[in-house]
């Protein structure tokens, strides 16, 4: 593909109109939207409006203004539901990814009889593993023997048959990623959910690398729970309040494992009784006071997703990653790059994962040229064209920068070690 073809694709792009809504720095190509999405003018306005509400109402902001704080988490949960294919009462915006996993594991992991193990995988994000190890320890179980991690044959992807084979009669709960954070492999969530339930296993998913990039049908598939961050593809800002989903079949049937007063029935919360009356929605899984300013930008961002539709976002994401992979194969042959993400549309998330022994120093060279990539130890370069604000022209330029860096060996001026934050 040449620059003219990239320009033609940009002219045909139905989502190109959203690019002007984002704060893009001149001379910078941002390919890290799968780690931290960029701010839009709408999200800035939403955050400032929330600040104005504080200035205007003081403590009465909890119940007054356009977006009363007391109901904000539930309101945003309802607005987020379409991202994961859920009913509005099945989703709440609260906490952080790891805190939400702790809450969900504390609520759903009930070791009993033979079933005393948690199933995860060896490629999962470290924080998830730490949380699961902690939950086992709190139950008096040895994580070395009770946390089963599915092995990867190639070190990059997982085989669903292998995952299902590990769903043995001693497993009580499975926690898996929707999309693997390094390789970008998209797992078959529906198949894995069905297999787990056929074996009497509760199953939940970490959606951090799929929510906002890939349509889901969590309610229809019967997934027990899911959790995700809102600062990657959803563009909610650094430290944005996270989201969690609990299927309605579980709502109102059990007390959350970690109770806190914002999980109360809203009408009774301020009765100040020492008897906890949980909400009959996913709101019951809240713990503490919502983070208002970390939630405020989400309403504006979700508005854009609703307008654009997840179907259109997924179409463009697949098209952009396909173009990028084709360009890499055309332009970078002979430079020892290996595309390790699945190439099939049905198995690919929102980013391209390039493996190279000099990955850390290549990322530094890209940043020097104004391309912002993402590095994941030990040897992965992640490139994530974001449907809202990345152009096809930028994809073409990124690959040309890579080609120049490799041809001129400009990466050799850098050490092949990660920065403090990769």
Q: What is the pLDDT of residues 335-354, one digit of tens each?
A: 999 999 999 999 999 999 99
Average pLDDT over the chain, rounded to an integer: 97
Q: Return the half-sphere exposure (C-beta side, CA atoms, 13 A cut-off) of residue 226.
A: 34
- Asked whether residue 422 carries a pLDDT value surpassing 80, the answer given is no
* Domain of 78, in residue numbers: 47-306
Are 356 and 251 in the same domain? no
Among candidate residues 125, 181, 205, 225, the one labeled active-site is 125
Q: What is the pLDDT of residues 180-214, one digit of tens each?
A: 999 999 999 999 999 999 999 999 999 999 999 99
**Pairing outcome for strands 91-93 and 29-30:** unpaired
Are 112 and 139 in the same domain? yes
Per-residue model confidence (pLDDT) at position 223: 98
Tell which of 277, 306, 335 closes a domain. 306
Among candidate residues 30, 108, 231, 389, the one labeled active-site is 231
Are 364 and 409 in the same domain? yes
Known binding-site residues for pyridoxal 5'-phosphate equal: 97-98, 125-128, 206, 209, 231, 261, 289
Known binding-site residues equal: 97-98, 125-128, 206, 209, 231, 261, 289
Among candidate residues 206, 245, 337, 348, the one labeled active-site is 206
Q: What is the pLDDT of residues 11-52, one digit of tens each?
A: 999 999 999 999 999 999 999 999 999 999 999 999 999 999
Phi/psi at 393 (5° precision): -60, -35
Are 276 and 371 in the same domain? no
Strand, coil or helix: what is 383?
strand
Helices assigned H by DSSP within 124-203: 126-138, 143-146, 160-165, 189-198
Catalytic residue list contains 253: no
Catalytic residue list contains 71: no
Query: Sorting pLDDT into bands at 50, 70 and 90, what band is 102?
Result: very high
Among candidate residues 42, 117, 232, 364, the one labeled active-site is 232
Q: What is the pLDDT of residues 281-317, one digit of tens each?
A: 999 999 999 999 999 999 999 999 999 999 999 999 9
Per-residue model confidence (pLDDT) at position 287: 96
Catalytic residue list contains 232: yes
Give the CATH number of the domain where residue 313 resides.
3.90.1150.10
Per-residue model confidence (pLDDT) at position 184: 97
As a whole-number percent, the residues of the chain with pLDDT over 90 amount to 96
Q: Output the DSSP codes for 317-357.
A: HHHHHHHHHHHHHHHSTTTT-EE-S--SGGGB-SSEEEE-T
Q: What is the pLDDT of residues 130-154, one digit of tens each?
A: 999 999 999 999 999 999 999 999 9
Among candidate residues 117, 182, 382, 410, the one labeled active-site is 382
Cβ-based neighbours of 163, under 8 Å, separated by 6 or more: 119, 121, 150, 176, 187, 192, 195
Contact between 227 and 107 under an 8 Å Cβ cutoff? The reply is: no
Are 79 and 185 in the same domain? yes
Quote the tokens at residue 357.
């022994």
Cβ-based neighbours of 169, under 8 Å, separated by 6 or more: 114, 115, 199, 200
Query: Sorting pLDDT into bands at 50, 70 and 90, what band is 419?
Result: confident
Catalytic residue list contains 109: no
Are 273 and 354 in the same domain? no
Contact between 380 and 182 under an 8 Å Cβ cutoff? The reply is: yes
Tell which of 306, 332, 365 closes a domain. 306
3-11 and 310-331 are packed helices; what angle lies between their axes, rounded to 10 degrees?
Answer: 180
Catalytic residue list contains 231: yes
């Amino acid at each position: 593909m040449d620059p003219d073809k990239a320009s033609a694709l940009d002219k045909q792009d139905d989502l190109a109109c959203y690019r002007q809504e984002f704060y893009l720095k001149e001379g910078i190509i941002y390919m890290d939207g799968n780690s931290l999405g960029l701010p839009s003018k709408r999200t800035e306005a939403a955050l400032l409006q929330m600040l104005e509400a504080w200035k205007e109402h003081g403590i009465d902001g909890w119940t007054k203004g356009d977006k009363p704080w007391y109901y904000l988490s539930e309101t945003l949960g309802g607005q987020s539901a379409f991202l994961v294919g859920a009913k509005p009462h099945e989703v709440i915006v609260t906490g952080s990814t790891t805190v939400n996993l702790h809450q969900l594991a504390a609520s759903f992991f009930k070791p009993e009889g033979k079933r005393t193990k948690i199933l995860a995988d060896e490629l999962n994000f470290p924080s998830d593993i730490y949380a699961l190890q902690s939950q086992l320890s709190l139950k008096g179980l040895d994580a070395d023997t009770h946390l089963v991690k599915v092995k990867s044959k190639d070190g990059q992807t997982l085989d669903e048959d292998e995952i299902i084979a590990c769903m043995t009669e001693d497993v009580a709960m499975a926690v898996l990623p929707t999309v693997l954070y390094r390789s970008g492999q998209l797992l078959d969530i529906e198949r894995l959910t069905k297999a787990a339930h056929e074996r009497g296993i509760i199953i939940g998913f970490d959606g951090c690398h799929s929510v906002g990039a890939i349509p889901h049908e969590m309610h229809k598939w019967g997934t027990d729970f899911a959790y995700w961050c809102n600062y990657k593809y959803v563009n909610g800002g650094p430290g944005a309040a996270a989201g969690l989903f609990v299927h309605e079949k579980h709502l109102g049937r059990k007390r959350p494992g970690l109770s806190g007063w914002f999980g109360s029935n809203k009408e009774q919360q301020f009765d100040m009784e020492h008897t906890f009356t949980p909400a009959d929605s996913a709101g019951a899984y809240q713990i503490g006071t919502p983070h208002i300013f970390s939630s405020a930008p989400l309403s504006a961002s979700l508005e854009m997703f609703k307008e654009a539709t997840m179907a259109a976002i997924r179409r463009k994401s697949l098209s952009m990653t396909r173009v990028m992979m084709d360009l890499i194969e055309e332009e970078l042959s002979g430079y020892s790059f290996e595309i390790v993400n699945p190439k099939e549309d049905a198995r690919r998330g929102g980013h391209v994962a390039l493996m190279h022994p000099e990955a850390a120093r290549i990322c530094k060279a890209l940043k020097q040229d104004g391309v912002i990539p993402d590095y994941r130890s030990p040897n992965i370069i992640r490139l994530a064209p974001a449907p809202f604000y990345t152009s096809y022209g930028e994809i073409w330029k990124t690959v040309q920068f890579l080609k120049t860096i490799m041809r001129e060996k400009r990466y050799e001026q850098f050490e092949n070690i990660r920065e403090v934050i990769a």
